[in-house]
Amino acid sequence: MRSDFGEVITAMVTPFDKNGKVDYNKVEELTSHLIDNGSDAIIVTGTTGESPTLIYDEELEILNSAKRASHNRKPIIMGTGSNSTETAVMMSKRAEKEGADGILSVVPYYNKPSQKGMIAHFSAVAEAVKIPVILYNIPSRTGVNMSVETASYLTEKYKNIVAIKQSFGDLDVITDYKLNLPSDVAIYSGDDSLTLPMLSVGAHGVISVASHLYGKEIKSMIRNFKTGDITSARNMHYRLYPIMKKLFMAPNPVPVKAVLNKKGLIEEYVRKPLVTLDEEEKKELFKVVSSIKFDK
């Protein structure tokens, strides 16, 4: 592969304190916890990290904190996407300068660019850096879908575009990617519950939220699938499916932060316009969490 970030990449939350400040100590602690519990790589300052509410200096310090905690054990990828091409290029350059092992770049949101506009945007990003680039296609948030033809053009032209995060439940798209993109471009599911179905048509792994809680189990599911133990992979999918869905009962990352708080790993605070779960919502969420048990 062009650059193998592994099979389980965690899109990490950003810990805040009660005053709404980034808790950099918790960033380091959570990074280490994820590395020790199944994550092959970590993405900071993505949308799960509440990037729309972070300022640039905070994003860079989060990257540096995660890098310190990693000690080069696992790659740290930085979300540098923006609906402004100039901003996306600037942040991608900064990420590279600060030592990011790669960047995640989302389709520009709200602007609803044409396919030509997407090509112009991602070309500018790819040409600005030498580190690996992961494209991120999530039509539900951006309002526009990156076509297979656009993805094919970009991955053929730019060898540092190494992967695509696909948050769109159309399995035909994954098949089209496998048929039309270079074979060494990795396809990642952007939705935990679609990981196993996407693996069946050629995806490499998942960029995950549930791996905050079940990284080793998700890794086991993927490994079992790839080594031919389909029954075990499917059974793990069934066991994890309820929490994979329940973690999106409210806007991400609100539910996963509530669970991480209950486990004593971080505080549950989020930045407005997100708000924490109420007590009834927590009761509903924790009931699902408590129903999923694994032997230690």
pLDDT digits (tens, 9 = 90+) for 59-109: 999 999 999 999 999 999 999 999 999 999 999 999 999 999 999 999 999
For residue 250, which of 208, 207, 291, 281 has the smallest C-alpha distance?
Answer: 281
Residue 257 confidence (pLDDT) above 60: yes
Q: Catalytic site residue 136?
A: yes
Residue 260 confidence (pLDDT) above 70: yes
Backbone region of residue 50 per phi and psi (left: phi > 0; alpha: psi in -120 to 50; beta: other values): left
Condensed to tens digits (0 to 9), the pLDDT of residues 15-47 reads 999 999 999 999 999 999 999 999 999 999 999
Is the separation of the CB atoms in 148 and 176 below 8 Å? yes
pTM, two decimal places: 0.97
pLDDT at 295: 73
Is the separation of the CB atoms in 135 and 154 below 8 Å? yes
pLDDT at 296: 57
Q: Catalytic site residue 158?
A: no
168 band by pLDDT with thresholds 50, 70 and 90: confident
* Identified catalytic residue from 26, 67, 74, 165: 165
* Identified catalytic residue from 136, 153, 214, 269: 136
Q: What beta strand segments (E) does 138-281 contain?
A: 161-166, 186-189, 205-208
